[in-house]
Copies of this chain bind each other. A is one copy, B any other.
């Protein structure tokens, strides 16, 4: 791994990954269509001579193929990353996640690049029967178009590993928090409380139990695996890792931390029901023993991740204006 291609390089996770790869001395080509990515997230990266960013879309397979020339490893992070709005336009997850991943694989194949890391999601487990959920939990039923499109990406990668000798690393993230976080419940709550500190509208009844992972821990886990190249020793030349902490919290815990940090005491206005939206999962908690066996361990608790996210949002309020 020397010359790395990162799709979604200007996104939350992508830009943090780019910074770390550059710090580690790698040469990085960033690729983003800037539909949700932010140029400001690449401010530091652009100071490195080892970095360049190209503006382009994963649905343009020709441009994507040209952009990848000379790279040896692809981190495929670009995606429609918001699980909540799939039903408004079901073609979005198909295009931006399933077909985009196919195009990334085809561009790799055209360039003779065989190593891919893929940002998948704990949402692929739907409403898991086994909690904490291990990677080899019973064949799940998909409950969201987002989850379905991410499984499709995973499965395409696995088939390319088997059929074309690719080497695949699939990371099923819980929700990630931290610097450059720009969608999700902490973002929504922070923006609401900035506008009206007296009340907070919460999707669901607040009992949802969720897991979160701090961005710097997330990047460390991904890179640890990519350095070990564990998939090479397996039957399928691909490997799946859950990424998360060993704890979960209730949505109301997170609300309490956010309110305490901001020094506000809003009335809580719950929309009701045990889930926030159709396809929401009331309890997400992944079994992370596999990644822990690699020696990786989260350095930050969920609470610390939430606080660091708030600190970053306070210093970067421009991001609130985006939506």
Residues of A bordering B, CB below 8 Å: 86-87, 90-91, 94, 98-99, 102, 105-106, 126-127, 135-145, 147-148, 151-152, 154-156, 158-160, 162-164, 235-236, 238, 278-279
Using CB atoms, name the residue of chain B closest to A87: B163
A288 to chain B, nearest CB (A): 16
18 A-B contact pairs sorted by A residue (CB < 8 Å): A86-B159, A90-B163, A94-B102, A126-B158, A135-B139, A136-B138, A141-B158, A142-B154, A142-B159, A142-B162, A143-B158, A144-B159, A144-B162, A144-B163, A151-B151, A151-B155, A162-B278, A162-B279
Q: In the complex, A278 Cα to B165 Cα: how many Å?
A: 11
Residue numbers in B under 8 Å from A142 (CB-CB): 154-156, 158-159, 162
Residue numbers in B under 8 Å from A156 (CB-CB): 94, 142, 145, 148
Q: In the complex, A144 Cα to B236 Cα: how many Å?
A: 11
Q: In the complex, A94 Cα to B142 Cα: how many Å?
A: 19
Could you tell me if A148 and B137 are in contact, using CB atoms closer than 8 angstroms? no
Given A98-B152, A141-B236, 15 more A-B residue pairs with CB atoms under 8 Å apart are A87-B163, A90-B163, A91-B102, A94-B98, A94-B102, A137-B139, A139-B139, A142-B158, A143-B162, A144-B159, A145-B156, A145-B159, A148-B152, A148-B155, A152-B155
